[in-house]
């Protein structure tokens, strides 16, 4: 028995093609193919500072610069190093995986901190008067302390300011421009 | 159709539906089986592949057996074996036992399904009508499978999927037993030998391609919902039920178009279009999966019935040619899974790796304090590494929230950005596989174009 047809085969095919194109077109127009995972930047590339205004913002960029510098030295991404420095267990997993001893890690973290001071000074966020003693202090700093500074850059920068004592207030008044910290 | 024939038609349709649902019913239970039986992703995929592979290999021999021993007896024995093996699946506590039982289940299922096609013409009055009922029951079963499996997994357990099949299969066997008794009493072993035509190469080839595409649609969507978007099996079951609903509601569309080749082509195009839509989801939102699912559902209803009717049209014996269609469909499912499993497994692993780095980058670039951000970076990466590859919610990594209102707002914004990044990443990880599945559906257009047109 033949069924009673009311639609031609061609009409059905055309409708199917149109429905499919409409759906795919709408999804593409809405950004369906635009996803790109956030790219991980090469830590050795310069990462310009974005005009920090407060000590908190300076500390934030200081940390990023320090991580970049240390990661560049170790040949890993900034993201990998950040995860490694968060806890002692994570650090142990990291050093085992990348076959890095504590001395090598210490050298890299110190290099990272020095790069952070350079970047801060270059960005005008840190006075050369404070940059000089900071560099000196960071050059021989033990690993645990160096990691602590990356974790708590704000505390470190506040302490550094306090370290100059009453001289810091005098310097702030005498210095034209940004002062010890902008 | 007389009133006495109705229970038998319903029983045969139920038998076909239950058996063919089994090719996809475990899809939503796979993550649970994976965890409970402590196996690998590749291992658990064999719970699905083994059934389909044995169905593909056993369908034609089963049809020959059905013709030799009598379709009533073959269907009854097939359903009994299917039920018994289902019980073994439900009681299995090792992957190897489960896979072995699934293979036996497939043998019983192949016998029942092919024999059902031999029994249906006498029950419904014509071979064409029988082919339509048989194809529709199979398509409905295959489409409903994942949703039913998901509901049972969530409400009871994955084992219940198989245990529930036992009484259903036995209930389907009861009305068929009368035919088996009649065969035994009259000694009808081999009906008239009127073999007409070789297996329809193009229709069966197209069925394999389209089945690969549809199986991929179900399998990938379920994985995306459960593993990518963290839905529970019951939620995923509700979401994927759009596909069978669309298939059932559009069943009448086939009646409006007499040209089977056009219906098959339109169906393949819709399945591919729906899969391409799933490949380009703009956001990780359930609502956006509905339009593509509707297209796949309508396409599935059109293409499976049209190709099955074409493969069976004017050919005899029906059981043998039905066996070839079953074989093609299940071979297609196996091919689809074998092609796509390594691709999406690799894509998901790559996505997880990218997500950990991208997540850390988002945290490091955020304005939250360095002390907090390094702690968060570590907690989030631990969270992402956990749950055996599942993309988890990152909420626990952000607890407890800072008490300072400014910092709290920054952290909450960061959490939202990060979760969005992870959800979109998980969705994107399935894109290549969905596109490949769409391509398989489009490739089916070639054999469909070469198939002889059959007007209903």
Q: Which tens digit of pLDDT belongs to each residue from B65-118?
A: 988 888 888 999 999 999 999 999 999 999 999 999 999 999 999 999 988 888
Cα(B243)–Cα(B222) distance, integer angstroms: 12
The correct answer on CATH 3.40.50.1100 for the domain covering B1-191 is no
Q: How far apart are CA A147 and CA A150, in angstroms?
A: 5
CB of B406 within 8 Å of any CB in chain A? Answer: no
Contact A32 B280 (CB under 8 A): yes
B456 contacts chain A (CB < 8 A): yes
Q: Which whole number is the average pLDDT over A63-68? A: 89
Q: B393 in contact with A at a CB cutoff of 8 Å?
A: no
pLDDT at A176: 44
Tokens for B173, please give them: 């066997």
Distance CA B37, CA A20 (A): 40
Q: Looking at CA atoms only, how far is residue A180 from chain B in angstroms?
A: 21
Q: Is B283 left (phi over 0), alpha (psi -120 to 50) or beta?
A: beta
B455 touching A, CB under 8 A? yes
The whole-angstrom distance between B254's CA and the closest CA on chain A is 9
**B295/A13 CB distance under 8 A:** no
Residues of chain A positioned with their CB less than 8 A from the CB of B262: 8-10, 12-13
Asked casually if ipTM beats, i.e. exceeds, 0.90, the reply is no
Distance from CA of B374 to the nearest CA of A (A): 6
Chain A residues whose CB is inside 8 A of the B299 CB are 16
Burial bucket for residue B426 (CB in 10 Å: 0-12, 13-18, 19+): buried
- Residue B390: the pLDDT is 52
How far is the alpha carbon of B372 from chain A, nearest alpha carbon, in Å? 8
pLDDT computed for residue B374 by the predictor: 73
List residues bridging with A126 in a β-sheet.
A181
Q: Determine the pLDDT at residue B447.
A: 92
Minimal-distance CA residue of chain B relative to A2: B456
Q: Could you tell me if B390 lies within 8 Å of chain A, comparing CB atoms?
A: no
Tally A–B CB contacts below 8 A: 166
Q: For residue B313, give the 3-state DSSP assignment.
A: coil
| Contact of B202 with B448, CB cutoff 8 Å | yes
Helix (H) / strand (E) containing B393: none
pLDDT digits 0-9 by tens, B331-363: 998 998 888 888 877 887 777 777 777 778 878
Q: How far is CA B423 from CA B150, B198, B229, B274, in A?
A: 22, 50, 7, 21
The residue in chain A having the minimum alpha-carbon distance to the alpha carbon of residue B253 is A7
State whether A32 and B282 contact (CB < 8 Å). Answer: yes
Q: Show the DSSP H helices in A30-152 as ranges.
A: 55-74, 78-84, 88-98, 102-122, 128-139, 143-151
From residue B176, give the alpha-carbon distance in Å to each of B78, B79, B165: 11, 10, 17
Write out pLDDT tens, residues B146-191.
888 888 988 899 999 999 999 999 988 888 887 777 767 766 555 5
Nearest to B271 by CA among B200, B342, B216, B220: B216
- Return residue ranges of chain B for CATH 1.20.1250.20: 1-191, 200-456
Residues of A in contact with B292 (CB under 8 A): 23
User: Residue B249: which residues within 8 A CB-CB, separation 6 or more?
Assistant: none
CA angle B410, B411, B416 (to 5 degrees): 100
| Cα B301–Cα B302–Cα B308 angle in degrees, nearest 5 | 90
Cα distance between residue B198 and residue B450, in whole Å: 16
Contacts of A15 (CB under 8 A, 6+ apart): B266
Burial class (CB within 10 angstroms; exposed 0-12, middle 13-18, buried 19+) of A117: buried
Q: Give the sign of the dihedral formed by CA B56, CA B57, CA B60, CA B64.
A: negative
- Token readout for B178 is 């009368």
| Candidates B258, B269, B421; nearest CB to A2 | B258
Quote the CA–CA distance of B113 and B130 in Å, as a whole number. 12
Question: Cβ neighbours of residue B264 under 8 Å, at least 6 residues apart?
Answer: B203, B206, B302, B303, B306, B307, B310, B448, B451
Residue A167 has pLDDT above 50, yes or no: no
B354 reaches A (C-beta below 8 A): yes
Confidence of residue A126 (pLDDT cuts 50, 70, 90): confident
Question: Hey, are the CB atoms on B273 and A19 less than 8 Å from each other?
Answer: yes
Long-range interactions of A92-101: CB distance < 8 A, separation 24+: A98/A74, A100/A74
pLDDT in the model for residue B172: 86
Of A7, A82, A152, nearest to B371 by CB-CB distance is: A152
Q: What are phi and psi of A126, to 5 degrees?
A: -135, 130
Contact B370 A152 (CB under 8 A): yes
Structure confidence at residue B187 (pLDDT): 61
DSSP per-residue string spanning B188-251 = --S-----BS---HHHHHHHHHHHHHHHHHHHHHHHIIIIIS---HHHHHHHHTHHHHHHHHTT
Contact B212, B332 (CB under 8 A): yes
Name, in order, each residue with C-beta under 8 angstroms of A63's C-beta and a sequence gap of 6 or more: A116, A150, A153, B370, B373, B374
Chain A residues in contact with B267 by the CB 8 A cut-off are: 16
Q: Across residues A52-65, what is the average pLDDT?
A: 80
Q: Which CATH superfamily is domain B200-456 in?
A: MFS general substrate transporter like domains (1.20.1250.20)
Q: Which residue has the higher pLDDT, A65 or B217?
A: A65
Say how far apart CA B90 and CA B98 lie, in whole Å: 8
Cβ distance of B377 and A87 shorter than 8 Å: no
The Cα B305–Cα B250 span in angstroms is: 12
Q: Which range has the worst mean pLDDT, A24-28, B80-84, B296-300, B408-412?
A: B408-412
């Amino acid at each position: 028995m033949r069924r009673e047809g009311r639609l031609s085969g061609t009409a059905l095919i055309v409708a199917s093609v149109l429905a499919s194109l409409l759906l795919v077109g709408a999804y593409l127009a809405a950004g369906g193919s635009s996803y790109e995972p956030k790219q991980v930047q090469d830590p050795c590339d310069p990462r310009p500072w974005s005009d920090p205004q407060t000590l908190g913002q300076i500390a934030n960029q200081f940390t990023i610069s320090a991580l970049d510098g240390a990661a560049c030295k170790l040949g890993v991404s900034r993201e990998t190093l950040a995860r490694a420095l968060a806890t002692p267990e994570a650090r142990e997993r990291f050093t085992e995986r990348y076959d890095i001893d504590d001395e090598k890690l210490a050298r890299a973290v110190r290099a990272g901190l020095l790069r952070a001071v350079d970047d801060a000074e270059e960005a005008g966020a840190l006075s050369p008067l404070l940059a000089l003693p900071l560099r000196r202090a960071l050059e021989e700093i033990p690993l645990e302390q160096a990691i602590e500074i990356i974790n708590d850059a704000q505390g470190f920068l506040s302490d550094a300011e306090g370290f100059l004592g009453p001289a810091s207030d005098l310097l702030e008044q005498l210095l034209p421009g940004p002062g010890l910290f902008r | 159709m007389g009133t006495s024939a109705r229970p038998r038609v319903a029983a045969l349709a139920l038998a076909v539906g239950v058996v063919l649902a089994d090719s996809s019913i475990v899809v939503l239970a796979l993550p649970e089986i994976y965890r409970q039986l402590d196996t690998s992703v590749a291992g658990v995929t064999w719970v699905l592949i083994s059934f389909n592979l044995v169905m593909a290999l056993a369908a034609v021999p089963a049809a020959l057996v059905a013709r030799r021993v009598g379709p009533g007896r073959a269907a009854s024995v097939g359903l009994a074996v299917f039920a018994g093996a289902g019980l073994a699946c439900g009681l299995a506590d090792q992957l190897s036992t489960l896979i072995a039982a699934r293979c036996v289940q497939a043998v019983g299922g192949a016998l029942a399904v092919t024999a059902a096609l031999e029994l249906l013409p006498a029950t419904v009055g014509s071979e064409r009508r029988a082919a339509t009922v048989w194809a529709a029951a199979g398509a409905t079963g295959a489409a409903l499978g994942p949703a039913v499996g998901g509901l049972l997994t969530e409400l009871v357990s994955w084992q219940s999927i198989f245990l529930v099949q036992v009484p259903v299969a036995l209930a389907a066997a009861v009305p068929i037993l009368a035919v088996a008794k009649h065969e035994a009493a009259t000694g009808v072993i081999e009906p008239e030998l009127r073999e007409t035509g070789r297996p329809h190469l193009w229709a069966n080839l197209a069925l394999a391609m389209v089945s690969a595409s549809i199986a991929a649609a179900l399998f990938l969507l379920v994985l995306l919902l459960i593993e990518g978007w963290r839905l529970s099996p019951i939620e995923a079951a509700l979401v994927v039920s759009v596909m069978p609903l669309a298939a059932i509601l559009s069943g009448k569309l086939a009646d409006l178009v007499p040209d089977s080749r056009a219906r098959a082509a339109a169906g393949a195009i819709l399945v591919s279009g729906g899969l391409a839509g799933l490949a380009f989801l703009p956001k990780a939102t359930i609502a956006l999966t509905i339009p593509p699912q509707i297209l796949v559902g309508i396409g599935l209803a059109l293409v499976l019935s049209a190709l099955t009717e074409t493969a069976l049209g004017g050919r005899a014996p029906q059981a043998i040619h039905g066996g070839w269609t079953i074989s093609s469909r299940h071979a297609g499912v196996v091919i689809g899974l074998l092609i796509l499993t390594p691709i999406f497994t690799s894509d998901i692993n790559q996505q997880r790796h990218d997500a950990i780095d991208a997540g850390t980058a988002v945290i490091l670039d955020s304005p939250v304090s360095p002390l907090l951000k390094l702690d968060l970076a570590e907690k989030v990466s631990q969270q992402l590494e956990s749950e055996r590859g599942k993309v988890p919610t990152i909420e626990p990594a952000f607890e407890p929230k800072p008490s300072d209102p400014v910092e709290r707002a920054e952290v909450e914004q960061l959490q939202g950005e990060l979760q969005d990044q992870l959800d979109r990443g998980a969705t994107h990880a399935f894109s290549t596989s969905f596109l490949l599945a769409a391509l398989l559906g489009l490739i089916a257009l070639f054999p469909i174009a070469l198939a002889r047109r059959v007007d209903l």
